[in-house]
Amino acid sequence: MAKIAFTLDYDSNIYEIDLSAHTPQVIFDTITYPVVVAWLGNGSFAYIDSNGNKSILREDPPYEWYPTGPDKVIYTHPTWIRDIKIRYKAVRYNFFFSAYHTDTSVRIFYLDEMDNPVPYCTIEGSQLKVIDPCHPEGETYFGTWGGNFTFDDKDNMYISSGNNVSSGLYKIGGAGTEEVTGEIERIVTSPNEPITSIEFIGNNQLLYVQGKQRIYKLDLQTLTSTLVYDATQFSSHALGSLSLMKEDAKFDLHKKKKFDMFKKKSVFDVG
């Protein structure tokens, strides 16, 4: 089973857990409250600070030319960053993030080699239809999007409707290197609980958080879900972001050509 890094709300720690062992361990105390985390490989990861607008790089061991400590701000956005993902595409790694664009929409960007944000797609909450709990016969109404997203290895992007009820998990095809061209399709519906963080782990499997403290594994072929971890041990803390802890590649933000891949094995080869 995959090893996952995750955050909790109102908790300064970043945790790791082997989903086959169900014993989480603290891997780093950020001092602040990390909003989301993205694993970069070889003991390094990026996280969003508690202010919600800075992507910060954490390395182990730290690079010696950073005398103030191991953490370095990668990028600062003018609005809140909601999620970050490292995507392997077109023989390179890309740093993606989502951020509020307007009061009703969230935009996904990627950073170019000069750390400039490039718009990738914009999604309005009105594009995400969910089941109306007041009409059990199946009528739908417009939902919201909190900015959670992930990519699989077949040019599909997945998003969740976030911390609201009723909620859903959606698939969008045609997720290329520079834009998304597909239509939005709802693949999971949760009429009574929110679906928030999501992460693709390979082998046609996706993890998602439902009900704030439970992680489910979704088989993308059969669309059947299985509970793989219950975080109720953390009392009232809700699960934050999920990030697959890849061990077969290194995403290096220090190189000028930082999107070059260091190992050619796919980052989605997960047992």
The percent of residues in the chain predicted with pLDDT above 90, rounded, is 22
More confident residue, 93 or 266: 93
- Is there a contact between 111 and 93 (Cβ–Cβ < 8 Å)? no
% of the chain with per-residue pLDDT over 70? 75
- For each of the domains in the chain, give its residue range(s) and CATH number, in order of start: 3-244 (2.120.10.30)
**Quick one: pLDDT at residue 246?**
72
Tell which residue, 19, 30, 61, 88, has the closest CA to residue 259. 88
pLDDT over 80 (residue 98): yes
C-alpha 119: how far from its chain's center? Answer: 17
* pLDDT value, residue 171: 95
The per-residue pLDDT for range 160-181, each reduced to its tens digit, is 988 777 888 999 999 988 889 9
**Global pTM value:** 0.82
Say if residues 115 and 123 touch (Cβ distance below 8 Å). no
Neighbours of 271 (CB within 10 A): 6
State the Cα–Cα distance between residues 174 and 30, nearest whole angstrom: 36
Two tokens, residue 173: 């095809």
